Chain A
């Protein structure tokens, strides 16, 4: 427990820090509603014209979209910590390296806390309103309690997995020194393969197969479809095992990559 204390402290400070920006959160909530409605209307129009039965019902899709909007901070790779980028590009990382703790864990805690703080402020109002909306926009409850438990586990593991993936963005900045470039590459690929542009079931089969080989879909598409019951329980359990395996692999790989990057680090000036 004492080992973990520094990381909890970072988490706490970041949470307190992130939660002081209330108007940003309010603006965020409004934006998410706008996007939510827009997506639903677009898909509604598609579904009206559908020639054969879509692989996902409109009701499931709407729930999927609202979850996506409420937990945006859990699933978006572009959601970033500019302070970390600044640390790397300006050389302030010098100070992080004088601390008696591993950089990987320290940064992981920071990034995790930032996402948690942002999501905690935003998800509740969005969810609350989404449950009260008139049909067909209304969000639905999960089919049963067990599904909800699976969803919670999948969502949290998804968040841990996404943070592990996002660590690679920061590590890559050691090489590229360009946060924008790294973000763009990771953001575009990651979000597409996570099913944030179009939900996975609506992709052509060959693309779906490819997507199933990558970890990205486990961060967003998977928990949301668990919620709506689109993924049955036994598959959900298998998915959670996959999440754990990917998480272990990515954290291990990330640590290795970061250690390698740090031995080559050059802190210029000053």
Chain B
């Protein structure tokens, strides 16, 4: 459905140091640096997938989304989505996609949400019946009914984001690009948004590409992750594989009777230590948990032991470190 091949895009950025002298100089000579936002990026996505697109800030996630939605023209490479090249067949292509940019707004600020929806209906030429059905479904699943008649300026961020997502789906797109859809949302709204994304993927078979910094979004939604850093694709595969690759670490928190001497366990890394408690990280590939506990009970008088799998967030941090991005 989506095939991206050798995509590259660089931006020219004017460089200037601080200070009046430098600023004056910049009036006449401007130095530019080239930022390679995308560097020979290739991947493909099948219909019906939910793909999490992750990477640190500035990795090129949004740039990829913008290229795929026909906003930016890349320097090199091809991108074929449903048979279209987004930036060449823009008008014909965008009928088939929905886009949500978490940090931007597509609704008219001063008019009721429903008016913006009706405008979108006319812009996308959605037949009345289809529009009605979509709208009813969206109002129900995203719980919009209480504020759909209010002007956008009066909505909270969570309400607005739900409306933004609804606005992107009124024309029944086949592909949905979500660029940080949960940014700034509270826990309740986040869960509502996640549940909704899952629902439309299952019921309407919408292919979803999602960028986010919230790993819980990825964990809850994505079957597959693409990791990108410095414009390059670094990992493409299932989240579980990633977890088993890096998730062999367990965190063990131990409480014990006061013990002045620090503990030393072979195969475990001590993360913090006090006379009453210590936290350690154990690589289960090197030493088993039971072995660690045996060693512990020999050294201290155990009160409580808690063993946790490494949270996905930490795995990602380690991954970023490993790839030096």
Interface residues of A (CB under 8 A from B): 2, 5-6, 8-10, 13, 16-17, 83, 90-92, 94-95, 97-102, 106, 263, 265-267, 269-270
Stretch at the interface among B22-30, B92-100, B201-209, B241-249: B92-100
What's the Cα separation between A155 and B92 when bound, in Å?
A: 36
A5 touches B71 (CB 8 A): no
A6 touches B99 (CB 8 A): no
Q: Which residue of A91, A92, A98, A267 contacts B94 across the interface (Cβ within 8 Å)?
A: A98
Of B92, B105, B122, the most chain A CB neighbours within 10 A belong to B122
What's the Cα separation between A83 and B153 when bound, in Å?
A: 14
B111 touches A6 (CB 8 A): no
Give chain B nearest CB distance to A41 CB in angstroms: 38
**A residues within 8 A CB of B94?**
97-100
Residue of A nearest to B97 (CB): A98
Stretch at the interface among B62-70, B129-137, B154-162, B269-277: B62-70
Beyond known contacts A16-B115, A17-B111, A270-B101: 18 more, CB 8 A cutoff: A6-B123, A6-B125, A8-B122, A13-B111, A13-B118, A83-B109, A94-B101, A97-B71, A98-B71, A98-B97, A98-B99, A99-B123, A100-B95, A102-B91, A106-B123, A267-B66, A269-B62, A270-B62
**B residues within 8 A CB of A101?**
91, 123
Residue of B nearest to A93 (CB): B71
Residue of A nearest to B120 (CB): A99
Give chain B nearest CB distance to A24 CB in angstroms: 12
Can you list 7 A-B pairs with a CB-CB distance of less than 8 A?
A2-B125, A8-B122, A95-B105, A97-B94, A99-B124, A100-B91, A265-B71
Residue of B nearest to A9 (CB): B122
Give chain A nearest CB distance to B245 CB in angstroms: 31
Give chain B nearest CB distance to A232 CB in angstroms: 44
**A residues within 8 A CB of B110?**
17
A263 touches B73 (CB 8 A): yes
What's the Cα separation between A16 and B116 when bound, in Å?
A: 12
Give chain A nearest CB distance to B95 CB in angstroms: 4
**A residues within 8 A CB of B11?**
266
**B residues within 8 A CB of A17?**
108, 110-111
**B residues within 8 A CB of A13?**
108, 111, 115, 118-119
**A residues within 8 A CB of B69?**
94, 97-98
**A residues within 8 A CB of B257?**
none
**B residues within 8 A CB of A91?**
104
B195 at the interface (CB under 8 A from A): no
What's the Cα separation between A171 and B97 when bound, in Å?
A: 26
**B residues within 8 A CB of A2?**
125
Give chain B nearest CB distance to A94 CB in angstroms: 5
B99 touches A95 (CB 8 A): yes
B149 at the interface (CB under 8 A from A): no
A6 touches B71 (CB 8 A): no
What's the Cα separation between A95 and B66 when bound, in Å?
A: 10
Give chain B nearest CB distance to A70 CB in angstroms: 26
Classify chain B: how many residues form its interface, as a range.
20 to 34
Residue of B nearest to A270 (CB): B103
B71 touches A267 (CB 8 A): yes
What's the Cα separation between A265 and B102 when bound, in Å?
A: 20
Residue of A nearest to B61 (CB): A270
**B residues within 8 A CB of A269?**
62, 103
What's the Cα separation between A101 and B70 when bound, in Å?
A: 13
Residue of A nearest to B167 (CB): A95
What's the Cα separation between A265 and B11 when bound, in Å?
A: 11
Q: Which residue of A9, A83, A263, A266 contacts B119 across the interface (Cβ within 8 Å)?
A: A9
Query: Known contacts A9-B118, A10-B119; is A267 also within 8 Å of B102 by CB?
Result: no
**B residues within 8 A CB of A99?**
94, 123-124
A95 touches B106 (CB 8 A): yes
A100 touches B99 (CB 8 A): no
Residue of A nearest to B63 (CB): A267
Q: Which residue of B72, B90, B106 contacts A267 across the interface (Cβ within 8 Å)?
A: B72
B217 at the interface (CB under 8 A from A): no
A5 touches B99 (CB 8 A): no
A95 touches B125 (CB 8 A): no
B91 touches A266 (CB 8 A): no
What's the Cα separation between A91 and B122 when bound, in Å?
A: 24
Of B71, B72, B111, B180, the most chain A CB neighbours within 10 A belong to B71
B91 touches A270 (CB 8 A): no
Q: Which residue of A6, A8, A94 contacts B66 across the interface (Cβ within 8 Å)?
A: A94
What's the Cα separation between A102 and B179 when bound, in Å?
A: 24
A265 touches B72 (CB 8 A): yes
Give chain B nearest CB distance to A92 CB in angstroms: 5
What's the Cα separation between A214 and B170 when bound, in Å?
A: 45
**A residues within 8 A CB of B72?**
265-267
Residue of B nearest to A6 (CB): B123
B99 touches A270 (CB 8 A): no
**B residues within 8 A CB of A267?**
66, 71-72
What's the Cα separation between A2 and B103 when bound, in Å?
A: 33
Q: Which residue of A5, A97, A263 contacts B125 across the interface (Cβ within 8 Å)?
A: A5
Residue of A nearest to B183 (CB): A270
Give chain A nearest CB distance to B108 CB in angstroms: 7
Residue of A nearest to B72 (CB): A267
Residue of A nearest to B9 (CB): A266
Interface string of B210-253 (1 = CB under 8 A from A): 00000000000000000000000000000000000000000000
The 10 nearest A-B residue pairs measured at CB: A9-B122, A270-B103, A95-B106, A6-B123, A100-B95, A97-B71, A98-B99, A92-B104, A98-B94, A100-B94
A5 touches B92 (CB 8 A): no
